[in-house]
Structure 1
Amino acid sequence: MSAGADHVVAGVSPSSPRAETVAWAAGEAAARGAVLEVVAASSRPGDAEEAREALRQAALLATERAPGVAVVTRVIAGSPEPVLRAEATGAGLLVVGADDQSPLLEAITGSVPGGLLTTAPCPLVVVPKDAAPPGDTAPILVGVDTAETSRSALDHAFSMAERSGRDLHVVHCWTAPRDPAEQRAIADCLAGYARACPDVAVTVVEVEEDPVTELARRSRKAALLVLGSRGRGRLASMAFGSVSRTLIRRCRCPVVVLRAEQERIGS
């Protein structure tokens, strides 16, 4: 698998950083041998001092979680979504915390994680509030739709499972009538990954179930969920019930989302 970019970007609130978001980003940066860049977007004049204190706390959290990781902190004037989008250009990952607001309010005002789903220039990781560290046997999940649309997600999931030593559970949810041709295409695709990553223990789960319900349930005992996204805009994905948009709100483990058109970046 290809090597990832040499830095991980974590977006934090200029008032108080979430410990679980910073800890996850620091651990991943250390595992990659990457620099962790912690960014606070300050949209109000006079907030810079508060933001600098938040970043000081974030840097302490990062080094507690991953001693020796290189940490860079930056306060940048502007709104969070465009600031983080710009800072994540060329990064291996962009890590943010899940949104607290209701789905109705998000539909009216938007949200930073929801907006970045369709605009982030690299894989996006959304960490749920108060996410607990996963157990040693917690698997990595990857949700697959079709063989073609799931390739970026599979590439990323196999890379992370290979590096972490965790089992990989490939979850394919389907509704009747089942498409035998697509089932064969997914099997052939997975066979290729198995040959490339022989040390990854893979379990394939095929279930007639709504993907949001099934993946949200399985996320309670998972270390990570990897998803592909077709990259619909915010209003369109609201209307069509985007799986990735719903899951970043409902999952209890961090969720990695890759758009189909993004370059596949390994870990």
Structure 2
Amino acid sequence: MTAAGIRRVVAGVSPFDPRPEVVAWAAAEAEARHAALELVSACPARQAGDVVGSAVVRLAAARRSVARGHPGVEVRTRTVIGPAEHVLRAAADGADLLVVGADDHSPFVEAITGSVPGGLLTTSPCPMVVVPKDAAPAGPAAPVLVGVDTAETSRAALNYAFATAARTGRDLHVVLCWTAPRERAERVVERAREHRALAVSLAGYGERYPDVAAAELVVDDDPVTELTRRARRAALLVLGSRGRGRLASMAFGSVSRTLIRSSRCPVAVIRPDLVPATGQLDPA
């Protein structure tokens, strides 16, 4: 909780591009968490005179939309002058969750101009969910999907994914991708090693979340390809992040950065260094 004892979900509202799916997703999450919803619009300083009026209009429309769909959610709105990444990072300090819209830039354009969700991957002070453009509400059978590896990043992502599945009553699909060796004997050994690694990662979760139906999937494929495909039928994709800096991420490639641009479902990115305002990574 915040210092005032109030839980908060913060959502970025663009003054240029109406993204009702971002507001709708954030409002539903705020209602589920019994949290207040803070809608924040960032206006570039050089265009402030022209943009602030548009931002105020869009925030008012977003507030009305939340009131219609989620009348019990307390809504606050703010218009702030400054770069969107900086404004949203400051607004999310002490929040339970930051919700932003996905960029639809190409990787080339993003490398030149930057990306607000891409930049916040490594700097957001709380867990972040990136909502794709025109995202539709998921059906009741859509699972929560979590991509894991054998690194420390998996623990935070698994905590979040199991808690989300428990809270929403959805199945959970846990996916570990690996690259099979060419030799058959090596493949057999490596496949068994990967299954053991996944079992170790999941130890204890069955006892903590006995009502969650969790499927363990060890897949010989590129993680971006596999998770993009599975995300088409998922309610939420949960990823861990090593928190690389932007330059390192762009140079060496980042599964999280690619998937927040390509996923058809919302993507939650959970860094292991984050302890949100609730004091836990479980979105209870």
- Mark yes or no: TM-score above 0.5: yes
Q: What is the match of residue 21 of structure 1?
A: 22
Match of 1:223 in 2: 235
Residue in structure 2 matching 1:146, options 134, 145, 150: 150
* C-alpha contact 2:195 2:218 (8 A) present in aligned 1: no
Secondary structure in 1 matching 2:122: helix
Distance 1:66 1:261 in 2: 32
Pick from 104, 108, 114 the counterpart of residue 108 of structure 2. Answer: 104
Contact 1:147-1:189 within 8 A present in 2 as well = no
Q: TM-score by structure 1 length?
A: 0.94
| Structure 1 position 12, deviation (Å) | 1.0
Aligned partners of 1:162 and 1:200 also within 8 Å: yes
> For the residues of structure 1 that align with 2:217 and 2:227, how far apart are their CA atoms?
11
Deviation at 1:182, TM superposition (A): 5.6
Matched residue count? 264
Matched, 1:204 2:216: yes
Unaligned runs of 5+ in 2: 182-189
TM-aligned CA deviation for residue 16 of structure 1? 4.2
In structure 2, what is the Cα distance between the partners aligned to 1:185 and 1:6?
Answer: 36
CA contact (8 A) 2:176 2:198 kept: no
CA RMSD of aligned residues (A): 1.6
**Equivalent position SS for 1:118:** coil
Distance 1:262 1:224 in 2: 19
Matches within 5 A, 1:105-254: 105-146=109-150, 148-177=152-181, 178=190, 183-254=195-266
The match for 1:83 is 87
Task: Give 1:100 deviation, angstroms.
Answer: 1.9
Structure 1 counterpart of 2:40:
39
1: CA distance, partners of 2:6 / 2:177 = 32
Give the AA of the match of 1:190.
L
Change (3 A) 1:266 1:171: same
Output one character per residue of 1:41-100: Cα deviation in whole Å (capped at 9) or x when no partner: 111221222211110011122223322111110001111000000110111110000002
Distance 1:182 1:262 in 2: 27
C-alpha distance 148-184 of structure 1, shift in aligned 2 (>3 A): farther
TM-superposition CA deviations, 1:118-157 (whole Å, max 9, x none): 1101111100001111011000000001153200000000
Residue range with higher mean Cα deviation, 38-47 or 109-118:
38-47
Tell me if the contact between 2:97 and 2:128 (Cα under 8 Å) persists in the aligned partners: yes
**TM-score, length basis structure 2:** 0.89
- Deviation of residue 194 (structure 1)? 1.1
Give 1:181 deviation, angstroms. 5.2
Give yes or no for contact 2:146–2:161 (8 Å, CA) kept in 1. Answer: yes
What amino acid is the match of 1:7? R
Q: Provide the identity percentage.
A: 64
1:261 partner SS? coil
Equivalent residue letter for 1:168:
L
Contact 2:194 2:218 in 1 (8 A): no
In structure 2, how many angstroms separate the alpha carbons of the residues matched to 1:147 and 1:165?
A: 27
Deviation at residue 107 of structure 1 after TM alignment: 0.4
State the alpha-carbon separation in 2 of the partners of residues 89 and 146 from structure 1.
29
2:282 counterpart residue number = 266
